[in-house]
Structures are given as structure tokens and as C-alpha cells.
Structure 1
Amino acid sequence: MAVSVATGLKSLFILLGCLMTATLIYTIATDGLPFRKELLTPWMTATLIDFYINILALGAWVIYKESNWISAILWIILLVCLGSITTCAYVVLQLFKLSPQESSQDPVYYVLLRHKKKTYSRREGSEQKSLFSVVTARFMFGALGFLMLGTLIYTIATDGSPFRKDVLTPWLSATLVDFYINVVALSVWIAYKESSWIGASFWIILLICFGSISTGAYILLQLYQLSSEGPVYLILFNSSNRAENGYERVLQRGNYSGIAA
């Protein structure tokens, strides 16, 4: 079953990456380059803010995953410039790095996990803590959620509803495709995190309807389930994986002792 999940995710993200590449090429061919002032309509600006808040969430995972800052910075630049094309390429690359055993056990967990290791040393934990604390993450994603909420309210108040034909320009349509492919990636994570399909479906619907407002709310909720003293990367894993690999002991103790698999 898990092998079919890994194969299905590879196929899904390859297909989505090709879709976004074709959309980008078609939009450039029919509407020109996007670097034009007249394209920055109020709803385009709001959509870009929405888009890049989700990029920040994905970028935080990429920074955790990469073993050195050079590769992390390179992937972040690609994420900012190429959006979901990079998301799809990165996810597919991580899936192809899985061993047959990892693919057969829990592919989403091993894709999320840094270095595909189950053992964390005191040094690694300390580095993760000093880089990005739980309290800092709570503040950041809470602020980003409120930023998008304020942007949405302001844009509706000043430019009206987005459900108008004149709003849907070629580049806004392409940006929406880009945005929702990243939503698919976040939805896979939420489906992995949630213990029931009802909870997962609820959050995915909110993500589709409210974009990065829901992203910020979900991440903030997950962060408040972690100890303020613990490592922020534990937000990536569901409670089952944390318990199986001893992560829950870190949450309870608030230290970074070595954790045996």
C-alpha cells in the first residue's frame, strides 16, 4: 500500500510540474512576460501575497531538509522564481531518493525527514533550536496569517469581489494554477498529519477557500501543540511517527538528548 502511495505521489507531482510548466510557457507566448506594471491589479497583488506566504511555509521545510546553506539558498531562489515547478521538482527528487524499504514503510514521513535518519543527536537538536525557535515560528506564522487576512479584507473593500470576469487576466489565471499546485503539496502534508479523513478534509477545504490564511492558522495550531522548549521541526511529523521514533520524549522533557530509533 505504501509503495503505491509513493508511486502515486511521484506521478501526481510530475504531472502537476508538467502542467505548471505548460501553463507558464503558454501564458508567456500568448500574453508576454509578467514583468509589467499594468499586471499588478489589486487582486493580482493580493494573490501574490497569498502565494508567497505558502512559499515561505514550503521554504521552511526545504531549509530543514537541506544539509548545507548553499543548496538551501539555491532551492529557495528557485521556489521564489519558479514557484510550484520547483515545489514539484523538489518533492519528486525527495521521493526518488527513498530506499525501497522507506517507500514501503511510510514514504511521506521519510520525504519530510531530514537526511532520512531516525536518530537525532544533541548537536543536531541544538542547531535546529538556535536556528528557529517554536516561539519565533508561532509569531511569524500568526503574523503572516493576519497579514493575508488584512490584505483580503482591504482588497474586497477597495476593489470589490474577485468573482468578476475582468479580474481573471491570463497572468492571474497562471498564478492561481501555480498557487493551487502548492496547495496540493500542503494538502498532502495535512492529510499525513491528521488522524482522521474528516479533520484532513476540513482543513484542505479551508486551504482551498482561504489560502494562506488557513496555512497560517493550521501551522500555528500545530506549533501550539509543541513545547516552547522543543525543536520546531517536530511540527512536520504526525503524532504516530513522533511516538514511534521517540520524539514525544523530547516534547515532554524539553531537551535534546540522543533519540534512538
Structure 2
Amino acid sequence: MVTAASIGVSVKTLFIVLFCVLTASFAHLFIFGDYISCFDIHSRWLILITADFTSFAVVIGAWISYKESSWIVAVVLVSTMYLFGSLVSLGYILTQFYKLSHEEYVKDPLYFVLARRQKRDVSGGSSVVAARVIFSVLGCLVLGVLIYTLILELSPSYIKYFASCFVTTAIDMNIYVVTFSVWIAYKESSWASALFWIVLLVCFRGVALCAYLVLELSYLSPHQPASLIILNATNRETSVVQPSNSFNSLLWNT
């Protein structure tokens, strides 16, 4: 029988492996490659990758801002993410895993990694509407860049523009895909639905992620905080109800 603790350990192990792989890739790029070539503005495909990366970074950044009580810490983390990509986000996620107590691992480790450590007031209404608008616009922009790039450059000739950093860039982007795939699998109650969205994420990356977020936001009423889309349906119901027993008290007070 698969337990919550075993799932938590598996996910943590996966992120440790990904962190090591990306660290080795960055080290190889800085030592033997040409890091500056990653910013060649003449590559249209680089613009597409930047658009995809921005959509991933905005979502991760929003989650970090939700988690952190200090906006300064959140700004520093999001800023460094643009220099070191998913290396920062993986490090942050692993830090949240290492903060878990044994009881939290047994209860629901993914919930405690995703949720705030302390209860704070959150606003609904305008935040839900604003989030819908932001991710709708972001998704349309990434889709527009994708279509523009495919029309003007049908072959993957972008490799010639930044060949020395192509492997690192590909690893970095695919780690984001894996990260959000784990989150979608956690959120979806049906494996068929989870697989459907993961396939879309692999194929369309930022466009699919924004579409998924807008869909999830559409399930929230204007009176609920937009941050509820982080959690799955079960944890979402727990989080909006005042704690009445020891388990719910643990959810609020950890």
C-alpha cells in the first residue's frame, strides 16, 4: 500500500536527483561552455524559451511569495531564479521538505510543502479575478510567441545560436515540466485527467500551464483566495474550514 510518507520520500528523492543533475550541468557550462551564448538575442527560439521560462517563473514566484512572510526574501529568490533557473526553485522546494517534521511526513508531506507554515489572512475577490486575467494574458503571450516562432523558424536551427548552453537550457526547462507535473498529479483525483494535462504540459509548456491555472481559478468563487488552487480538493476543503480537531489544528499551526 502506498502511503503519504512513501510518496513524500519519493518526490523528495526525485528533486534531489534533479538538483544534482542540474548542478552538474551548470558547473559544466560555466567551466567548459560559453554562458554568455545563452543570451544571444538573435535567436527567435531563445525568445520562445524565455517566454516559457517566464510563465514557469511567475507561477513559482507567486507560490514563493505566498509561502514567505518576508517580501524581501521572496524578491531575492525570484530574482536569482532568472540567473540560475530551476536550481533556485528546486533548492527552495527541498528546503521545504527538510523543514517537515516526522508527523507531517506521516500525515501529508505534499500538503505541508505547498501550504504556508503559518496561518495568515488572505483576500479573495479581486485576487481571484486578477489571477485569472494575469494568467490568461500570460498564456496568450506565450502562445503568440510560439506561433510567431514556428512561422518564422520551422527548423530547430536555434541550436547553432547557443549550442554550448543548449543541454543546460533543455535540462532546466524539463525540470520545470517535471516539477509542475508532480503538482498536477497531486492535485488531480483522476489519473486520466492528470495524464492529459501532463501531456499538454510536455507539448506546450507555458501555454498549457497557464490554461490549467485559469481553469483551476474558474472553480473558485470570488470570495475565495486565489492561493487555494495550490492545494488539491481534499486539502482545499480542510484549509477553508476552521480547525475543530487535533489534525486540523496541526494544519493551521505548523
Is TM more than 0.5 here?
Answer: yes
Question: Does the alignment pair 1:153 with 2:147?
Answer: yes
What secondary structure sits across from 2:36 in the alignment?
coil
Matched, 1:86 2:80: no
Change (3 A) 1:6 1:37: closer
Displacement, 1:36? 6.7
1:125 aligns with 2:122: yes
Give the Cα separation in 2 of the matches to 1:147 and 1:193. Answer: 26
Q: Residue 200 of structure 2 contacts residue 208 of structure 2 at CA under 8 Å; is this kept in 1? A: yes
Asked if 1 retains the 8 angstrom alpha-carbon contact of 2:86 and 2:175, the reply is yes
Q: Residue 252 of structure 2 corresponds to which residue in structure 1? A: none
For 1:12, the aligned partner's letter is L
Matches within 5 A, 1:64-213: 64-115=66-117, 117=118, 120=119, 124-126=121-123, 129=124, 133-162=127-156, 166=160, 169-213=163-207
Alpha-carbon contact 2:46-2:158 (below 8 Å) kept: no
Question: Within 1, Cα distance between the matches of 2:86 and 2:44?
Answer: 22
2:210 to 212, 216, 225: 216
1:118-169: per-residue Cα shift (whole Å, max 9, x none)? xx56xx124xx49x70000000001111101100110111111338864772
3-state DSSP of counterpart to 2:60: helix
Instruction: Give the Å deviation of 1:68.
Output: 1.2
What is residue 43 of structure 1 aligned with on the other side? 45
Residue 24 of structure 1: aligned partner: 26
What are the ranges of 5 or more consecutive residues in structure 2 without an aligned counterpart? 249-254
In structure 1, runs of 5+ residues without a counterpart are: 250-257
TM-score by length of 2: 0.88
Give, in whole Å, the separation in 1 of the partners of 2:197 and 2:171: 20
Question: More deviation in 186-195 or 37-46?
Answer: 37-46
Please report the RMSD computed on the Cα atoms of aligned residues, expressed in angstroms.
Answer: 2.2
TM (norm. structure 1) is: 0.86
Match of 2:224 among 230, 235, 247: 230
More displaced stretch, 31-40 vs 155-164: 31-40
Aligned length: 243
Instruction: State the alpha-carbon separation in 1 of the partners of residues 91 and 173 from structure 2.
Output: 15
SS at match of 1:114: coil
In structure 1, C-alpha distance between the alignment counterparts of 2:191 and 2:174, rounded to whole Å: 20
Residues 65-118 of structure 1: CA distance to partner in whole angstroms, max 9, x if unpaired?
001112111211222221111111111100111111111111111111101x5x
Distance 1:162 1:152 in 2: 13
User: What is the identity, as a one-letter code, of the residue corresponding to 2:144?
Assistant: G
